[in-house]
Amino acid sequence: MAESFRIAGIERISAILLEDISIEQVLTQMVDTCSFCIKNVKPTEGDEVIVEVNGKRLFAGIVDTVKLSRRVGALRIWQVECQDYTYQLDRRLVVETYENRTADWIVRDICLKYAPDFAANHVQTGAPNVAFIIFDYQQPSECFKKLAEYCGWDWYVDYFRDVWFFDPADTTRSSPVPIDQTFPLRNIKHDIQIQGLRNRVYVRGGVMLSDPFYYETKADGLARIWMLPHKPHELSFQIAGVPVSVGIENVHDEAEYAYLLNYQEKYVKASPQTATTPGGSTLSFTYRYDIDVITMIDDIRSQQAVAAVQGGDGVYEHVIVDPKLTSIEAAEAAGQADLRSHANPRVKGSFDTETGEWTPGQLIAVDLPDIGVSGTYLVQSVTLSPLTPDQWTYHVEYGGRLLGIPDVLQALVSSQKNAGLNETARLNKFIYGTEGLQVGDSLVTKAAQLPFVVEQSLEFEATPLNPVQTLFAEAGFLSLWTVDSNTWPQVEMATSLDGIAFSPWRSVPLHQTIDLQNPGYVRFRALSGRVQGRVWKRPFDETMTICNGVAI
């Protein structure tokens, strides 16, 4: 049995009923499914399911439905149906318009904006350019399908949430698996259907412009209106080999053009201010006109093969009507693509086996002459179910048409199918997000000398032997007193702002407080006697000093 059967991240292999497991794998963008029964444990819709055998992941997806299958006493059996990760891919709807972008760029953009839980590691580059496309509230899977049809590519989501978008023509395939009489298989079925067989296809498209058409007539000297054989496009008009200006009637100002064209009525007329063309003048018109797109495609090999069996010419005819095809090349491509799908009878077959590892997209070369089966076919789907706890059985379905592998000619067809698009469509789109505001600030500091100093009290002494004392007046007051009471000293002082240029000497009274210039320098000298002094800051008083605009 499976080595691992995880539901919502919990290993549940012991509760899974062996006989009820079924895993169906199908081609590319089609959805893989898984069904099983579980005892007593009821999964929840939306739970993730991962099945692995021998290290290989056989299925991964989401629980879709859960139903009570049967009840035996206290035992409950739940029937569970799952589908692959495409279910989660389509949680959000795409509302976008794209112009002049490659298809692979658009796929990556949709994954980034609308499926952030999915990777785009296998989106192949080099996809055709998309001229214009609109997605108006469409699921991502529908968008990818539309892009794949547009450029003839294919896509799918694998079991690891990775989106694949690729060109099938560039995919390297292994050699077909031989199925002969020695291969262990059972229950083989092989059916050939001729319904829908056709080997000649008529394609009727829309309209396209003809090659430049030249029309010439002679003026009679009276007529001012000339009829044309067709409704003209890209018209040019010459009179006697001289080009003249032509406007659109009821659109352009007739005063600005010599002649006016009426497209619907198929005529050209002279404007009122234009003189009548002289008789005998050659009037030359060159233009392009609408022609129907119609072509026929034959598959000669198919016609010969059918004729050899049924007689006659072997021709089976079919018609394709698509007004969006606007060129012969696109119509031929559409016919070729249709013939590749229907020029030969469709083959559908199946068989059961316990040998090998089978996946959709494999080629098988069947050679069973005893039942009249011979040819190379493509595996369309594989259904896995356990035969024993140690062995799985594979139910393989194959077909003659390469279903899910678009014809490369479809790219040319798709590129012509923009005629029905409304290039002025208005899309209303809701933008969800979280708004936030972040405020920050920064402080830039720079070390510098502060523009002020701490005031300190200084004491000094001056005598006739040491008469001059120079101090920096950090504080704003000065007091002097005598030391020797027998001699009354005579003291003078001078002040300066820079310590260089001092004021004249002047007498200083003793035992008084003297205000000093602050900050600044003061110089003392004792002419007689001994005197002591102090430069100080009076307690509880403030010195108001302006230091670079800052009051201290």
Per DSSP, 168 falls in state G
Per-residue pLDDT tens over the stretch 27-37: 878 889 999 99
Residue with tokens 């439905």: 65
Residue with tokens 């904006």: 113
Say how many C-beta atoms besides its own lie within 10 A of residue 311's C-beta.
Answer: 8
Q: What is the 3-state secondary structure (H, E, C) of 326-360?
A: CCHHHHHHHHHHHHHHHCCCEEEEEEEECCCCCCC
Find the range with the poorest average confidence among 66-70, 279-283, 426-430: 426-430
Greater confidence (472 vs 270) lies with: 270
Burial 340-369 (b: 16+ CB within 10 A, else e): eebbbbbbbbbbbbeeeebebbbebebebe
Per-residue pLDDT tens over the stretch 394-405: 999 988 643 333
At residue 414, the 3 state secondary structure works out as helix
Q: How far is CA 395 from the centre of its chain?
A: 39
Report pLDDT for 401.
Answer: 44
Report pLDDT for 550.
Answer: 35
Q: What is the DSSP string of 96-109?
A: EEEEEEEHHHHHHH
- CA distances (Å), origin 104, targets 134, 148, 166: 15, 10, 9
Report pLDDT for 524.
Answer: 77
Per-residue pLDDT tens over the stretch 82-137: 999 998 999 999 999 998 899 999 999 999 999 999 999 999 998 888 888 899 89
How many whole angstroms separate alpha carbon 344 and alpha carbon 193? 9
How many whole angstroms separate alpha carbon 62 and alpha carbon 88? 8
Per DSSP, 17 falls in state -
How many whole angstroms separate alpha carbon 432 and alpha carbon 95? 13
Report pLDDT for 246.
Answer: 94
| Amino acid letter, 384 | L
Closest by alpha carbon to 471, among 456, 491, 450, 488? Answer: 456
Report pLDDT for 452.
Answer: 56
CB 520 within 8 Å of CB 502: no
Sorting pLDDT into bands at 50, 70 and 90, what band is 324?
confident
Report pLDDT for 430.
Answer: 59
Can you name the residues that pair with 212 across neighbouring β-strands?
Answer: none
How many whole angstroms separate alpha carbon 361 and alpha carbon 404? 9
Per-residue pLDDT tens over the stretch 164-197: 998 876 655 667 888 888 899 888 888 877 778 8
Closest by alpha carbon to 201, among 313, 342, 301, 403? Answer: 342
Report pLDDT for 249.
Answer: 93
Provide CB contacts within 8 A for 231, sequence distance 6+: 263, 264, 266, 289, 290
The mean pLDDT value of the chain amounts to 82
E-assigned strands of 391-541?
391-399, 458-462, 468-473, 477-482, 490-496, 506-507, 513-515, 520-528, 531-536
- CA distances (Å), origin 86, targets 110, 359, 379, 462: 14, 18, 21, 104
Report pLDDT for 329.
Answer: 83
Per-residue pLDDT tens over the stretch 220-278: 999 999 999 999 999 999 999 999 999 999 999 989 999 999 999 999 999 999 999 99
Average of per-residue pLDDT across 355-381: 84
Per-residue pLDDT tens over the stretch 47-89: 999 998 888 888 999 999 999 988 888 899 999 999 999 989 9
Determine which helix (DSSP H) or strand (DSSP E) holds 86, and give its type and residue range.
Answer: helix 86-89
How many whole angstroms separate alpha carbon 543 and alpha carbon 457? 13
Check whether 470 has a pLDDT greater than 80.
no
Average of per-residue pLDDT across 463-479: 68
